[in-house]
Structure 1
Amino acid sequence: MSETSHAAPETTFLKGVKVLDLSRLLPGPFASLLLADMGADVLKIEDPRGGDYARYYPPLVDGVGAFYASVNRNKRSMTLDLKCAQGREVLERLLEDRDVLLESFRPGVMARLGLDPQGLRERFPGLVICSVSGFGQSGPARDRAGHDLNFVARAGLLDQNARAGEAPVVPGYQVADLAGGALYAALGICGALFARSRSGEGAWLDISMSEGALSLMAPAIAMRAAGEAMAPGQGMLSGGLPCYRVYETADGRYMAVAALEPKFWEALIGALKKPELSGRGMLSGEDGEEVAAELASIFRSQPQSHWEQMLGEVDCCVEPVRELGELVDDAIYQARNVFFELQGVRQVRSPVRVVADGNDVAAHRPAPEHGEHTEEVLNALGYTSEAIDALRRQGAIAQGSEGVSVAGGGRSTP
């Protein structure tokens, strides 16, 4: 599929909202991607010396990292050295008509750069500042380094991501970065903008990725406090019941059974012709393991394709466990045009859709080259060519290296 042939859902909820994004890698850029996909004008501010590290993470497609391309579409990029007085001056001029400032430095870095959020709030009272960090802007761990695995470990999610009696399993996706950080950042920004539309006042949002991950544990924490042991792999929603777990098939694949409600369990055992299991899906302990063992034996008797075809028409909450390489061909996602190609990279469409006829009308813009829009932005601020050249000489912006190809694809060098 060509880059220009795909049409994306036109979500213009944030049209006119101007976002400055100082973040890099995943949590911040994914948050600003959500905003950009809803129509916000996201200007990505990158260091002149290479920019976002994710640009160079392999695999590269036409010189740009697929990782980077997947989370930076629909944005613009300019280079600014925030350690340079002239770079900070440009940033502050940009803030005069920006609505949102998103950053993911460690707490205290913005202040050391002369961009203390409290001071910015006083100078730009309508500005929404969103700070995404590992452990928050206060507390004993505010300066602690960390990555997704650290955050889900500290929040208890990793402990629960295990079979009974076995070690925790590293998740195959970034729970804290994406759900705990990016989603809460985007949600908080939208909420703050809504409040500002009524009061005129901006806000400083403190988004802790570890707390975001912890919030996903709210039901488990409540149940534990009420007396439920919630041991890993033994809870109602963590594999402790035969009606809610994963079963291996004859070909080494898996089926996910989530027949929690009695009607779904009865539909499942009816399709499997096992009436003797009626009413036994919610059993736990040894009795539950006996039921699970019988189901395991049944599912191991046939390959995944057999069960998918057989149970696909039965309303029983059973789905095949898809492998990563199979997702693009999944009939459900194909029917809803979830995947598309941009910059030669397979991308996932925003799940925020407007239900209306003719929904697919707006084309996505590819992720920007390093500093691609620097001069465009500076010209809009009133900088002359001579002033822009001076910024280059002072090191405030890249030294004319924007757009130099890494592998012949028009991408900048690190």
Structure 2
Amino acid sequence: MMRPLEGVRVLDFSTLLPGPMATLVLAEAGAEVIKIERPGRGDEMRSYEPKFGEDSVNFALLNRGKRSIAIDLKEKGIIDKLRGLIASADIVVEQFRPGVMDRLGLGYEALSAINDKIIYCAITGYGQSGPLAQVAAHDLNYLAVSGMLGLSAGSDGTPGLPPALIADIAGGTYPAIVNILLALRQRDRTGKGCKLDIAMADNLFTFLYWAIGNGQLGQWPVPGGELVTGGTPRYQVYRTSDGKFIAAAPLEDKFWANFIEAIGAPEELLDDATDPGMVKSEIQQIISAQTAEHWAKCFEGKDLCCAVVASMKEAMEHPHFRSRGLFSKQLASGDRSIAALPIPVASEFRDQKAVDGYPGLGEANHEFGLDH
């Protein structure tokens, strides 16, 4: 079966995470992705630790199935050297601060003058305009400014550090993919490309729909005090006797009743509205009296929305994910191989190769006449 994006060429000027993950998804669906890197060092992520082959495992995971050319974008006449690639490209992805590509002579106006069908996707933290457009920031900063981090308060009121790069992936990668695909569909109708302004901080607000709605009706959320931020015993993490944790989310009444019964709690705890703090404390005492394994067996086969908190290693070895083939594809470097990064592309649309590699810096220069 022909993959949906076969025949689509992507020029990827991005580095680190949001852009490279977006183009990885496009590559998995059949696009030809040409990664454009600086000579000598390449994408900064190549230098990270630990190594998998000559480069970091992070780089390898995010850039499999792509090709690399190394060229100095500050060279005089760079647009002429890249003219052939620009003319043949369908999509450009870049992740510089606003205005950088324009100063290099490679902004949307310059590229669309060569190829008016080009879809130009610019991923930035705060977007192409606005007071924060030029401010340096990372994922944690975008979470802070959007209000999301403030809702993750711990027991002492200090916001917790998220274990995932939410803004980069949920605010950058996925919106970029969605809008690139929409732009391709629009181009089918109009024959013209466009420029996409993907702002990671902007896109975080979508995830705060409930807080936005509540707040505008006069009920601004309290950190640690709302339905999904710690304000109810029905959505909590409880410590077990062996130092592990149970993620309990029996929000609906039927699940809550099943949960109370399964842990052997007194029926009066079914009423958690009168004194939520007391109910939470009582449940914690019950859970902390037994091991995680004990509770896993108690919950097995019951309808109550609870799970033992797994380590990353345990999660990757879980029979459920194994049965779905989530980590069956291999990423190779020399004679070594590891599980490739799972990609959210339906199996009908993605690359079915069992093993794939990642590009060495500048290995495709000769193919595109960029040796000199």
Offset of residue 279 of structure 1: 4.1
Offset of residue 354 of structure 1: 3.5
Q: Hey, what's the Cα distance between the residues in 1 that align with 2:345 and 2:135?
A: 34
Secondary structure at 2:197 match in 1: strand
**Structure 2 segments unaligned to the other structure (5+ residues):** none
Are residue 304 (structure 1) and residue 292 (structure 2) matched?
yes
Match of 2:342 among 327, 343, 349: 349
Secondary structure at 2:284 match in 1: helix
Q: Hey, what's the Cα distance between the residues in 1 that align with 2:79 and 2:267?
A: 72
Q: Hey, what's the Cα distance between the residues in 2 that align with 1:98 and 1:266?
A: 58
Q: Hey, what's the Cα distance between the residues in 2 that align with 1:11 and 1:292?
A: 54
Secondary structure at 1:291 match in 2: helix
Deviation digits for residues 124-172 of structure 1, max 9, x if unmatched? 2211000001111011111111111111111111111113542011111
Query: Equivalences for 1:219-368 in 2 at 5 Å?
Result: 219-274=210-265, 276-277=267-268, 279-281=270-272, 283=273, 287-340=275-328, 341-343=330-332, 344-354=337-347, 361-368=352-359
Query: Equivalences for 1:13-412 in 2 at 5 Å?
Result: 13-163=4-154, 165-274=156-265, 276-277=267-268, 279-281=270-272, 283=273, 287-340=275-328, 341-343=330-332, 344-354=337-347, 361-378=352-369, 388=370, 391=372
Whether contact under 8 Å (2:170, 2:204) holds in the other structure is: yes
TM-score normalised to structure 2 length: 0.93
Whether contact under 8 Å (2:172, 2:203) holds in the other structure is: yes
Moved over 3 A (4+): none
Q: Hey, what's the Cα distance between the residues in 2 that align with 1:86 and 1:250?
A: 67
Whether contact under 8 Å (1:164, 1:231) holds in the other structure is: no
Counterpart of 1:76 in structure 2: which amino acid?
Answer: R
Whether contact under 8 Å (1:266, 1:278) holds in the other structure is: no
Identity of aligned residues (%): 37
Q: Hey, what's the Cα distance between the residues in 1 that align with 2:42 and 2:26?
A: 21
Whether contact under 8 Å (1:45, 1:78) holds in the other structure is: yes
Higher mean displacement: 121-130 or 103-112: 121-130
Whether contact under 8 Å (1:128, 1:203) holds in the other structure is: yes
Q: Hey, what's the Cα distance between the residues in 2 that align with 1:83 and 1:320?
A: 52
Q: Hey, what's the Cα distance between the residues in 1 that align with 2:269 and 2:29?
A: 47
Match of 1:383 in 2: none
Higher mean displacement: 155-164 or 344-353: 344-353
Whether contact under 8 Å (2:3, 2:351) holds in the other structure is: no
CA 1:361–1:185: 2 relative to 1, 3 Å: closer
Q: Hey, what's the Cα distance between the residues in 2 that align with 1:338 and 1:186?
A: 21
Q: Hey, what's the Cα distance between the residues in 2 that align with 1:184 and 1:360?
A: 22
Secondary structure at 2:82 match in 1: helix
Whether contact under 8 Å (1:18, 1:40) holds in the other structure is: yes
Secondary structure at 1:339 match in 2: coil
**Structure 1 segments unaligned to the other structure (5+ residues):** 1-9, 379-387, 392-414
Whether contact under 8 Å (2:172, 2:200) holds in the other structure is: yes
Higher mean displacement: 170-179 or 270-279: 270-279
Deviation digits for residues 85-121 of structure 1, max 9, x if unmatched? 3433232220111110000001010110012213323
Offset of residue 182 of structure 1: 0.8
Which of structures 1 and 2 has the larger relative contact order (alpha carbons within 8 angstroms, sep 6+)? Answer: 1
Q: Hey, what's the Cα distance between the residues in 2 that align with 1:117 and 1:138?
A: 15
Counterpart of 1:353 in structure 2: which amino acid?
Answer: A
Secondary structure at 1:376 match in 2: coil
Secondary structure at 1:348 match in 2: coil
Whether contact under 8 Å (1:100, 1:128) holds in the other structure is: yes
Counterpart of 1:334 in structure 2: which amino acid?
Answer: R
Query: What is the RMSD computed on CA atoms of the aligned residues?
Result: 2.0
Match of 1:400 in 2: none
Q: Hey, what's the Cα distance between the residues in 2 that align with 1:49 and 1:360?
A: 30
TM-score normalised to structure 1 length: 0.84
Whether contact under 8 Å (1:69, 1:345) holds in the other structure is: no
Q: How many residues get paired? A: 367
Secondary structure at 1:43 match in 2: strand
Secondary structure at 1:334 match in 2: helix
Offset of residue 355 of structure 1: 6.2
Secondary structure at 1:332 match in 2: helix
Q: Hey, what's the Cα distance between the residues in 1 that align with 2:48 and 2:85?
A: 29
Offset of residue 212 of structure 1: 1.7
